[in-house]
């Protein structure tokens, strides 16, 4: 039994070291060419839809899609966010509740996560629901136009810097944001 416990402890240590290395290892930058529909976004948007499985964010006005963007998500994107540090991007209907022009990620639009139902669920489970979920650009230390590859955020939705400038300019506080699996 002790031998099995030592083996389990050793495997756990190896997995923790590997996970830490993955989180700290430098990401390979990927320069993303502009999509075919690269026309500038003009005017306000009245709804944002994020489809996690497709890694796409679409902005709408009057029920019509205006533009679609490629996105990155939390480092463990499958499933709904349950607690602080799980690396998941939450699912559900949210609202933009703040705008940050001095973000560490170029520009950011804050979402009203956790909602009351998220806080209640986390309280029942005895965990912290997390917070500070944003739609944002790339880390400020990256050159403009460079995009980190893969899903790398702590639970946010990331797009390229030129794209967040468009979305930031066209999105008001109160804009609904639906995040779908």
Which helix (H) or strand (E) segment is 98 a member of?
Answer: strand 92-100
The model's pTM is: 0.77
Average pLDDT over residues 162-177: 97
> Which CATH architecture group holds 30-180?
Beta Barrel (2.40)
What are the b/e assignments for 20-59, b being 16+ CB within 10 Å? eeeeeeeeeeeebeeeeeeeebeeebbbbbbebeebebbb
Average pLDDT over residues 166-179: 97
pLDDT tens per residue, range 29-79: 444 444 444 567 878 999 999 999 999 999 999 999 999 999 999 999 999
Q: Which of 66, 62, 156 is nearest to 107 (CA)?
A: 156
Tokens of 40: 């500038």
Asked about 157 being catalytic, the answer comes back as: no
Residue 153 predicted with pLDDT over 80: yes
Active-site option among 41, 72, 156, 179: 156
Tokens of 47: 């709804």
Active-site option among 69, 81, 136, 179: 136
How far, in Å, CA of 69 to CA of 54, rounded?
A: 11
- DSSP character for 39? P
Asked if 23 contacts 13 with a C-beta cutoff of 8 angstroms, the reply is no
pLDDT confidence of residue 143: 83
pLDDT confidence of residue 38: 56
How far, in Å, CA of 45 to CA of 56, rounded?
A: 16
pLDDT confidence of residue 82: 92
Nearest 5 degrees, angle CA 61-CA 67-CA 71? 120
Asked about 106 being catalytic, the answer comes back as: no
pLDDT confidence of residue 9: 60
Phi and psi at residue 4, in whole multiples of 5°?
-65, -40
Q: Of residues 13 and 57, which shows the higher confidence score?
A: 57
Average pLDDT over residues 130-134: 94
Distances (CA, A) of 97 to 15, 31, 55, 105, 176: 37, 30, 23, 17, 10
């Amino acid at each position: 039994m002790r031998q099995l416990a030592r083996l389990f402890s050793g495997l756990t240590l190896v997995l923790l070291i590997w996970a830490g290395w993955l989180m700290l290892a430098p990401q390979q930058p990927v320069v993303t060419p502009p999509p075919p529909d690269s026309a500038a976004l003009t005017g306000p948007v009245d709804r944002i839809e994020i489809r996690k499985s497709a890694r796409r964010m679409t902005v709408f006005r009057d029920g019509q899609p205006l533009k679609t963007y490629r996105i990155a998500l939390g480092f463990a994107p499958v499933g709904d966010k349950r607690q602080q540090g799980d690396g998941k991007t939450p699912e559900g209907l949210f609202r933009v509740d703040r705008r940050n022009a001095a973000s560490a990620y170029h520009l950011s639009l804050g979402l009203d996560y956790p909602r009351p139902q998220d806080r209640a669920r986390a309280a029942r489970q005895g965990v912290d629901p997390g917070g500070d979920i944003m739609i944002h650009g790339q880390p400020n230390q990256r050159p403009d136009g460079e995009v980190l590859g893969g899903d790398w955020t702590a639970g946010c939705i990331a797009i390229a810097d030129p794209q967040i400038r468009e979305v930031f300019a066209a999105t008001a506080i109160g804009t609904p944001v639906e995040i779908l699996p």
